[in-house]
Amino acid sequence: QVQLQESGPGLVKPSQTLALTCTVSGGAIASGSFYWSWIRQPAGKGLEWIGRVYTSGSTNYNPSFKGRVTISVDTSKNQFSLKLRSVTAADTAVFYCARETRDGTPNSFDIWGQGTMVTVSS
Amino acid sequence: DIQMTQSPSSLSASVGDSVTITCRASQSISGYLNWYQHKPGRAPKLLISAASSLQSGVPSRFSGSGSGTDFTLTISGLQPEDFATFYCQQSYTTPWTFGQGTKVEIK
């Protein structure tokens, strides 16, 4: 059974780079027809898709992040990562990693991590 | 971006009640609509994909319908474990977008 687990600092200073890693267990990240996505949820707000990576390294990002985001994959470690640059307090949120299906049916996020809280504060 | 609007934003119901949550897209998304259940501190769970396809292991009291711009999630006979926040999400075109959520609380 595939499981995802987010890890990374819980506190980041304004203007710095937020960096998180998602470790995939119970299956190879490079197998199957999946994208690997990051999603966040600010306190009291809804879910926001940040972007995704395929095992080839190709990416798609939400334009609302205005070029601040990079998502990468390391198949040797069975991990994928998020970097969000120039953070402000508005980036404080719970960050989730999720597996996104791409098997010809409408895409969906079928497996999620439990989420990790990241606070942006000096 | 496609805007997803859920209603109501919250509701109170009793065990055994049937409830319906609606989700409206700002443009037609055909049947590219997913529903998730989220409990505090837990990973969100995919309930229904492609508007009406129940995921394996999800109880049959959950059902989804709709196409185009209007969709519904129905829970027929609420159980104690169903109290949570529910989100719709369109997978018609990126950036994927979610509704703001509907919190189902115990009356």
pLDDT digits (tens, 9 = 90+) for A23-47: 999 999 988 789 999 999 998 889 9
pLDDT of residue A4: 97
* Cross-chain Cβ contact A47/B42 below 8 Å: no
pLDDT of residue A55: 92
Average pLDDT rounded to a whole number, residues A89-116: 93
pLDDT of residue A113: 96
Residue B66: which of B29, B27, B106 has the closest Cα? B29
Angle at CA of residue A60, ends A69 and A50, nearest 5°: 50
Confidence of residue A102 (pLDDT cuts 50, 70, 90): confident
Residue with tokens 């119970």: A26
Distances (CA, A) of A6 to A83, A109, B4, B57, B62: 13, 16, 27, 25, 29
* Interface residue ranges in chain B relative to chain A, Cβ cutoff 8 Å: 1, 31-34, 36, 41-46, 49-50, 53, 55, 87, 89, 91-92, 94-101
Q: Considering only the beta carbons, identify the residue of B32, B94, B95 that sits closest to A106.
A: B32
Q: What are the phi and psi torsion angles at A20 (to 5°)?
A: -130, 150
* Cross-chain Cβ contact B42/A49 below 8 Å: no
Contact (Cβ atoms closer than 8 angstroms) between residue A84 and residue A38 = no
Residues of chain B where predicted confidence (pLDDT) is lower than 70: none
The Cα of A61 is separated from the nearest Cα of chain B by a number of Å equal to 7
- Provide, rounded to the nearest whole percent, the portion of chain A with pLDDT above 70: 100
The Cα of A81 is separated from the nearest Cα of chain B by a number of Å equal to 18
Contact (Cβ atoms closer than 8 angstroms) between residue B30 and residue B93 = no
Distance between CA atoms of B47 and B57, rounded to whole angstroms?
9
Q: Considering only the beta carbons, identify the residue of B1, B43, B91 that sits closest to A115.
A: B43
pLDDT of residue B4: 98
- Preceding peptide of A42 cis, ω within 30°: no
Q: What is the mean pLDDT of chain A?
A: 95
Q: Encoding tokens for residue A46?
A: 């809804």
Distance between CA atoms of A22 and A9, rounded to whole angstroms?
13
Q: Considering only the beta carbons, identify the residue of B42, B97, B100 that sits closest to A49.
A: B97
pLDDT of residue A32: 72
Question: How does DSSP assign A40-68, residue by residue?
Answer: EE-TTS--EEEEEE-TTS-EEE-GGGTT-
